[in-house]
Amino acid sequence: MGMVGGSLEAFIGGVHRRAAIMDGEIELVCGAFSSDPAKSKETGKALYLPENRIYDNYEEMILKEKELPEGERMDFVSIVTPNHVHHAPTKLALENGFHVVCDKPITLNTQEAEEIVAIAEKSGLVFCLTHNYTGYPMVKEAREMIASGAIGEIRKVIVEYPQGWLSAYVEVAGNKQAAWRTDPKRSGAAGGLGDIGTHAENLAEYITGLKITELCADLTIFVKGRLLDDDANILLRFNNGAKGILQNSQIANGEENDLNIRVYGETGGLQWKQMEPNTLIHKTNEGVRIIRTGVGNLSKAAQVHTRIPAGHPEGYFEAFANLYRNFAIHVRAYWEGTTPDPVYDFPTAKDGLRGMKFIDTVIASNNSETKWTAF
């Protein structure tokens, strides 16, 4: 793995590095860790990389690594920069024969995302978008239960992602994470919607197997002076006739990262919370069943994404690592000319494009007097 972004002071870069090495399939061999060459060198040194594999910028890294012998050069690029620096390194990596893992959202805008999808499809290379919440064992179990008809035809979906960390105007008080996430030039057209709302959209479609077809959105900027949305309330219509509610907020004071989903069908319901990720609740009018990671006769999908015996908590890092492990399996299959078991799945460039179009549609709906906007 070669990494773009993820300096020592960054948050998500360290998460990616820890997740990538968890299964012994991947090692970090090079990086361009910051737009500041000095910070890149400082980070590379702290990660014990040789000086000649610590690069000043991603262009230098990709082009110089390409010149190295196969088996010595990096095999793929992990892109963990702010949103506005996703497209260019992804494009350059794919065009030079490197597989890609990219943090979400895939790009700054839909036009860039469409280009990445086209390049990825033409190249045949493996592309993973890290909607990491799809990597949890109980998310896999919920998806399999719904696909098998365990709760009947889906009627209602409620998905929420409340946070409270942007309740104040912290982007002008030295908070680096807040500064770029609320800056249209670096974050894109959406604030909280792009940051966490797309996670909720992706989770709802992944678990249910349904597609959102129409939506009615209300975006708000509550904090005075802020340039991008910090609260979203969205009504959803799905392709099977089900109805849904999606809400995300970064001004829900006191909330942490409480991503949660409830899915109700004709014969039962399912509930999962990211802050209690090892528990899936199956409800019917006759009673409640608690399903736990590693306990009982779970689906193959849940089992292959479970790492340790029941009762030992598995969480954020392990879910992230499942995506990297599955990506590695697909890269090896690419080399060997084989087809991997589809149980080892991960979000792709097409999922990223759908996320960008979701953002566009929500913004269009918010700005429209029309009640429903087609997605």
pTM to 2 decimal places: 0.96
The Cα 341–Cα 223 span in angstroms is 47
Contact 330, 344 (CB under 8 A): yes
DSSP 8-state code for residue 91:
H
Q: What is the pLDDT of residue 74?
A: 98
Q: Which residue has the tokens 């800056």?
A: 183
CATH number (domain holding residue 144): 3.30.360.10
Instruction: Examine the fold and report which residue of 72, 92, 125 is the final residue of a domain before the chain moves on.
Output: 125
Which whole number is the average pLDDT over 128-135?
98
**Residue 261, H or E segment:** strand 260-265
Answer whether residue 73 is part of any domain: yes
Q: What is the pLDDT of residue 5?
A: 98
Q: What is the pLDDT of residue 301?
A: 98
Answer whether residue 141 is part of any domain: yes
Grade residue 355 by pLDDT with cuts at 50, 70 and 90: very high
245 shares a domain with 120: no
The Cα 287–Cα 296 span in angstroms is 18
Which whole number is the average pLDDT over 335-347?
97
**Residue 248, H or E segment:** strand 243-249
Which whole number is the average pLDDT over 203-232?
98
Q: What is the pLDDT of residue 225?
A: 97
Domain that holds residue 182: 136-308+348-367
State residue 162 phi and psi, 5-degree precision: -90, 135
Q: What is the pLDDT of residue 292?
A: 98
Which whole number is the average pLDDT over 54-58?
98
Instruction: Examine the fold and report which residue of 125, 156, 185 is the final residue of a domain before the chain moves on.
Output: 125
> pLDDT digit string (tens) for 146-201?
999 999 999 999 999 999 999 999 999 999 999 999 999 999 999 999 999 999 99
Q: What is the pLDDT of residue 7?
A: 96
Into how many domains does the chain fold? 2
The Cα 47–Cα 270 span in angstroms is 42
Contact 102, 129 (CB under 8 A): yes
Nearest to 207, CA basis, from 264, 163, 279: 264
140 shares a domain with 284: yes
Contact 136, 305 (CB under 8 A): yes
